[in-house]
A and B are shown apart, each in its own frame.
Chain A
Amino acid sequence: MTAEDAPPFRARRSGLARLFSAYGQEIVIACAILVLFAVVSTINPRFLGANNLNTIVSGNAYIAVAAIGMSMIIITGHIDVSVGALIGVLATISGTLAVSGYPIWFAWIAPVFVGMAVNAVVGVLVAYGRIPSIVVTLGMLSILRGGLVSVTGGAWINNLPPEYQLAQQRLFDIPAPVWFMILFTVLAALWMRHSAFGRSLYAIGGNAEAARAAGIPIERRTVQVFMIHGAIAGLATVLFATQLKIIQSTVPPNLELTIITASVIGGVSILGGTGTVIGSTLAAILFSTIGAAMIFINVSPYWLRAVIGLLILITVLVDMARRNREMRMARR
């Protein structure tokens, strides 16, 4: 439920309560991050070292950026399970351009446009082909993943020029990916909240028929939001691919699920129509903090995923309990 369509009784509440009802999920996650930092740093003070903080956030900034686009897709009432494979393909394209003598800026910008083009196809199939987005992106996942391995043969890209390493740059001692993450999150949050385009995405996800009756061109918006999502995936790719001196032809397993989870834990309802990109970015930071915290308090690396899975589930259950309660209160 967005602040705009909140029932009238909320207007009588204090400013703080209003803030909480509009950004409840974001506040919960921010608190979770703070508690985690407090607990882990009392166990192991080195956790709060500036270098460590930078590593935690910077290494996973690309997930936060990709989750921005994913949030827009889910808010519109769709889903994209192919984004992990897309990032893998775009990384290889970008790396190949960089090592075969094209200008560096071109290697950085190409993923954005290729991502946009690929997702334009997805968007058209969803909007005009009337195929559910999960089916189209499931097919696209196979096409991209299989295509990447058959073209590269699983080979890695080495010998990347040093100036290609965008993610290694720092400004005021903060790594570039962190700056990009903050910049994109703020821009996207403002755009989703205040632009007619952003509001129309909420409208489509909330009630497609009502949106159509209100004159929103649903098909065109769907194609556009998929293209924007593709472009953002391209930006995320650049942050991902320029971290290391090599580019593998694989991405972390289940990357698309991590990105979707970040969006959803961040408060984007999988049913569409609600949520903010600030929440998804916070959730991505929470994930990377959990991962790093496990290492600092000496949890066996073998149990890492189990602990993360359990925490994801607990967050979801707490969130659902909160939403169910709010829904009951709103009905009264």
Chain B
Amino acid sequence: MRKLLRHETILAVLVVLALIVLASQSDKFFTLDNILNQGRLMTEVGLIAVIMTFVIVTGGIDLSVGSILGLVAILIGVFWKNMGLPLPMAIGLGLVVGTFAGFINGIIITRFRVPPLIATLGTLALYRGIAEGISEARSVRGYPDWFFVLGQGQVLGVPTQLWLFGIVAVIAAIVLGYTTWGRATYAIGSNETAARFSGLRVDWIKIAIYSSSGFAAALAAAIFVSRVSTTRSDMGAGVELDAITAVVLGGTSIFGGRGTIVGTVLGLILIQALKNGLSLAGVKSDGTIVLIGAVLILTILISNLFHRNGNR
């Protein structure tokens, strides 16, 4: 437990340092408007990263989330525009499809014993392919105004989706930290065979986690569509790497058994602060990507120096 705290302390110090440096570069950085707006931009990756924490804690990985996001975004548009369903029902169906896509990942991983990296690599291609096939490169626009509340509106002065993210993050933190479900997740990641022999329903828990991952990606899709007012099949491409970066930056071991939601949220904040602060300071977004890569490697390296046995 002390080890965990250590990584998060390092990360928290980094976040504070980054905030101080970035704030000194631009007056706009520490305004309430800017901070809330950054929260808005963080939500989509954030929702996915929070559930990805569970996936990685079990020792797995889910590369298909970006494709599920794209697929669900397209389906919401098609259900609503081409099939004439009411929009809430279209969104509901989209969430069901996303969850089902995650469920399929879980089945492939648990029933067929395919390593998660390979299984979700396959479904990454499949789900994105289905999205492209359905959309035929057409985008859907013209959503009703009330729908934009989700991605562009505010509730009590805070962006709508930030509330949603907050709720999901708190629930996830409680489940992972304080429930038998959470303990089971860690147990699977530390030693799956032992977890199995302890009578945990390992396969069932994993299927539930991968299904949740699909659900989170679908939820992110609805928010994404609402935020940018349009649907395209290439939405969410590469979001899986952003989410994994945030999770790993947050101290979750890629080999499973270790990690916290708090760490992941800190990782998300650090990445978003860097992106925003640097762009305000005049650095192009590509330069920011370079820095995020370097920060990822350096954070883990420093964290490893503090406890010799490292991130395994």
Grouping DSSP codes into helix (H, G, I), strand (E, B) and loop, the B interface class, with mixed when no group exceeds half, is helix
Q: B289 contacts which chain A residues (CB < 8 A)?
A: 142-143, 145-146
Which of B129, B287, B297 contacts A306, CB < 8 Å? Answer: B129
Give the contact stretch, choosing among B45-53, B81-89, B109-117.
Answer: B109-117
- Asked if residues B296 and A139 are in contact (CB atoms below 8 Å), the reply is yes
Residues of A within 8 A of B300 (CB): 131, 135
A305 & B129 in contact (Cβ 8 Å cutoff): yes
Known: A264-B118, A309-B123, A324-B113. A302 touches B136 (CB 8 A): yes
Q: Let me know if A131 and B311 touch, CB within 8 A.
A: yes
Binds A, one of B2-10, B163-171, B241-249: B241-249
Q: Cα distance A134–B296 when bound, in Å?
A: 11
B207 to chain A, nearest CB (A): 17
Residue-wise, chain B 104-142 has the 8 Å CB interface mask toward A (1 for contact) of: 000010001111011101111111111011011100000
B297-A309 in contact (CB<8A) = no
Known contacts A141-B241, A257-B121: A316-B128 contact under CB 8 Å: no
Question: In the bound complex, how far is the Cα of B59 from the Cα of A271, in angstroms?
Answer: 13
0 or 1 for each of A258-275: is its CB under 8 Å from B? (1 = yes) = 001100100000110000
Which chain B residues have a beta carbon within 8 Å of chain A's beta carbons? 63, 108, 112-115, 117-119, 121-130, 132-133, 135-137, 237, 241, 244-245, 248, 254-255, 284, 286-294, 296-297, 300-301, 304, 309-312
Minimum Cβ distance to chain B for residue A207 (Å): 15
Interface SS of chain A: helix, strand, loop or mixed? helix
Residue positions of A touching B, CB distance < 8 A: 79, 81, 125, 129-132, 134-136, 138-147, 149-150, 253-254, 257, 260-261, 264, 270-271, 300, 302-310, 312-313, 316-317, 320-321, 324
Q: Smallest CB–CB gap between B116 and chain A, Å? A: 9
In the bound complex, CA of A138 to CA of B123 (Å): 20
Q: What are 19 A-B pairs at a CB distance below 8 A?
A: A81-B241, A125-B297, A130-B311, A138-B245, A138-B296, A142-B289, A143-B294, A261-B121, A261-B122, A300-B133, A303-B133, A305-B129, A307-B129, A312-B121, A312-B125, A312-B126, A313-B126, A316-B118, A324-B113
